[in-house]
Each structure stands twice: as structure tokens, then as C-alpha cells.
């Protein structure tokens, strides 16, 4: 890439990174995306020998932070801690301040599988009970964190693929929908493992019916996956990755991917993530490109079948 036209740029690239790198988290501190982003920043900073600063820029369901990164200089110093919404927002929202191609996939950090949960007083013992019961009468209300959120996708996958009768009930945030389930205002929800686990293991306010990723949770291995229970299409997680502004040099993206992969092999970091229900991932840049393509295809199909739209 270093031809005669770009001597300055090549010199800059050669000593990259020579100043702090910024990871923009498009959500508030303390959530799953933020925790995964911070773990990646800590580990990648060590691997690259440079400080990685985490900036929280919440707003517009993650679109605010994403558009900020999409408009940043592609010089290898600003990256987005992406989430499922980075892919699905453009399918669902009437207008998003960036295009899909403005952000390039760099690395998968980790994922927090969803857990399908009901109030602890619920009579449903497993996912089949819950789905079959929803088909009788007027169906069930299923709390979501808004249009296009992971719980919204879980409800629509169960509806369009398995004939469940779940009415998505949008709340402003995961914590509000959690409270609604505990209080019995809705029949169930799907929530990130990191949020749901304390209410299953510690205060007993949730009963878990299934986890929604391809393997069981390290922190709660007794809970079967939806796939094991006969629902193979229920495969979704709250994942966090790294995306770069379009135009970022491939060499730099490869180095960041390798640094994140190394971070996700650091025993201190992986143990901390697993203990709260997060599964470290890592892998190469090509792996994450494939992952995002697969997600886009699967989620896009659900958006079309369920006619999901953000009003």
C-alpha cells in the first residue's frame, strides 16, 4: 500500500500506535457491551504497548456512538465497540446516521448469551411449555428493550419460526423490562446472561427456561440451550466486537484483531468475563467478517418475516 504518493502516511503507519487509541462504547457504563469493551481495551492495550481509552457515548440505541466512529479519521486511533444493533439498526430504523459500509468489522470480543426468563412464580418449566402456553388464548406479553433489541428478535424468532404468540412490549431499558417480569406485568423476556444471572442465582426472582447461544453458559451449565430443547433457529447473543471507520488500513485492523484475540486468551480477563456469564471469543479479522455476514443474513430474514420496524 506504500507507494510514492503516500510517504507521510506510510511513516505514520509504521510507528502506529504512537498515541492512545480510543474505543467508543455506544452505551452507558456498566452494561454488557461496556464490560466487554473494557476487557478488550485492557488486554489489547497490553498487547499493543499503548493505552486504550474507553469513551462511553450512549444514545439512539447505539447509533450515536456508531455514527461518531463512522465519521472519524480512519487512522487507527478510533474504533467502535460494536453490538448486534450495529448490524440490525440499518434494517429496522427509518433513518440511521451512517451506512453499513461506513464501518468495517475488525474483531469479535465476546458474547453474553440471552436467557429466556419468566417470573419465579411462573408455572412454565421449559421453553416448550412457555411457547405452547402462549399459543392458547390471547398470547403472552414479552418485555423488550425497544424495537430491534435482542429480546425483540428473540420474541419474533419464536413467533415466525415456531408459531409462538408473543406480543413484544417495549420498555425504555433492560432494567425496566427486568422489573416488569419480576412484578408479573409481562409473562417473560429474554435478557443478557450478565443481567439475568444474579436474579436466578442470588435473589431467585427469575426462573430461566433456556439460553440462546450454541453452547451452555460456563457460569450456569445446568440450563439447556434453546437448540437442545428443539428450537435450532433460536441462536442469538448480546455480542461485542470492534469496528473501524471505512478506510482504516488493513494492516492496522489485523494488528487490532490479533491484540483482541490475545486479550481473550488472557486467563485473568477470561475468568472475570466467564464468572459474570460472558463467553470470551476472539479469533481473526476474517472470522469476524464471516460472523457479521451470517448475523446480517439471519437477522435480516427475521426482520422481513416479522415486518419489524422502528416506529
Contact 161, 167 (CB under 8 A): no
Average pLDDT of the residues in 112-135: 96
Specify the pairing of strand 237-245 against strand 140-144: unpaired
Residue 5: band (very low, low, confident or very high) from pLDDT cuts 50, 70, 90: low
pLDDT digits (tens, 9 = 90+) for 255-300: 999 999 999 999 999 999 999 999 999 999 999 999 999 999 999 9
Q: Which residues contact 9 (CB under 8 A, 6 or more apart)?
A: 2
**How far is it, in rounded angstroms, from Cα 117 to Cα 234?**
14
Helices (H), 108-190: 127-134, 150-162, 174-182
Give the H or E element holding residue 108.
Answer: strand 103-119
* Cis? peptide before 131, omega within 30° of 0: no
The yes-or-no verdict on residue 8 having pLDDT over 70 is no
**How far is it, in rounded angstroms, from Cα 143 to Cα 117?**
10
The yes-or-no verdict on residue 303 having pLDDT over 80 is yes
Average pLDDT of the residues in 63-92: 94
Residue 167: band (very low, low, confident or very high) from pLDDT cuts 50, 70, 90: very high
- pLDDT attached to residue 115: 96
Largest CA distance in the chain: 72
DSSP 3-state assignment of 164?
A: coil
Instruction: Tell the burial category of 161 from Cβ atoms under 10 Å away from its Cβ (0-12, 13-18, 19+).
Output: middle
Reported pTM? 0.89
Residue 148: band (very low, low, confident or very high) from pLDDT cuts 50, 70, 90: confident
Q: Which of 22, 45, 148, 107 is nearest to 286 (CA)?
A: 107
Residue 14: band (very low, low, confident or very high) from pLDDT cuts 50, 70, 90: confident
Q: Which residues contact 301 (CB under 8 A, 6 or more apart)?
A: none
**How far is it, in rounded angstroms, from Cα 241 to Cα 265?**
15
Amino acid at each position: 500500500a506504500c507507494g510514492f504518493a503516500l510517504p507521510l502516511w506510510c511513516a505514520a503507519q509504521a510507528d502506529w500506535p504512537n498515541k492512545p487509541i480510543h474505543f467508543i462504547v455506544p452505551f452507558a457504563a456498566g452494561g454488557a457491551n461496556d464490560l466487554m469493551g473494557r476487557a478488550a481495551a485492557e488486554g489489547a492495550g497490553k498487547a499493543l504497548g499503548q493505552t486504550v481509552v474507553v469513551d462511553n457515548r450512549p444514545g439512539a440505541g447505539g447509533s450515536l456512538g456508531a455514527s461518531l466512529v463512522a465519521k472519524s479519521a480512519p487512522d487507527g486511533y478510533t474504533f467502535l465497540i460494536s453490538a448486534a444493533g450495529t448490524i440490525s439498526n440499518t434494517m429496522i430504523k427509518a433513518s440511521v446516521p451512517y451506512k453499513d459500509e461506513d464501518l468495517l468489522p475488525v474483531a469479535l470480543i465476546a458474547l453474553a448469551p440471552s436467557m429466556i426468563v419468566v417470573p419465579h412464580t411462573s408455572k412454565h418449566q421449559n421453553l416448550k411449555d412457555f411457547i405452547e402456553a402462549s399459543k392458547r388464548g390471547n398470547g403472552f406479553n414479552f418485555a423488550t428493550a425497544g424495537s430491534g433489541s435482542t429480546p425483540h428478535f428473540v420474541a419474533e424468532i419464536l413467533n415466525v419460526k415456531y408459531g409462538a404468540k408473543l406480543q413484544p412490549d417495549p420498555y425504555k431499558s433492560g432494567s425496566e423490562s427486568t422489573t416488569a417480569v419480576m412484578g408479573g406485568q409481562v409473562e417473560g423476556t429474554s435478557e443478557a446472561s450478565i443481567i439475568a444471572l444474579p436474579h436466578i442465582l442470588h435473589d431467585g426472582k427469575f426462573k430461566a427456561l433456556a439460553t440462546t447461544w450454541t453452547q451452555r453458559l460456563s457460569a450456569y451449565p445446568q440450563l439447556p440451550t434453546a437448540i437442545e430443547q428443539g428450537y435450532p433457529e433460536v441462536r442469538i447473543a448480546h455480542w461485542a466486537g470492534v469496528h473501524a471507520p471505512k478506510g482504516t488500513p488493513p494492516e492496522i485492523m489485523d494488528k487490532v484483531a490479533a491484540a483482541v484475540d490475545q486479550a481473550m486468551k488472557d486467563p485473568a480477563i477470561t475468568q472475570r468475563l466467564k464468572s459474570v456469564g460472558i463467553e470470551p471469543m476472539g479469533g481473526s479479522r476474517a472470522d469476524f467478517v464471516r460472523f457479521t455476514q451470517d448475523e446480517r443474513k439471519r437477522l435480516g430474514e427475521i426482520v422481513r418475516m416479522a415486518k419489524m420496524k422502528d416506529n
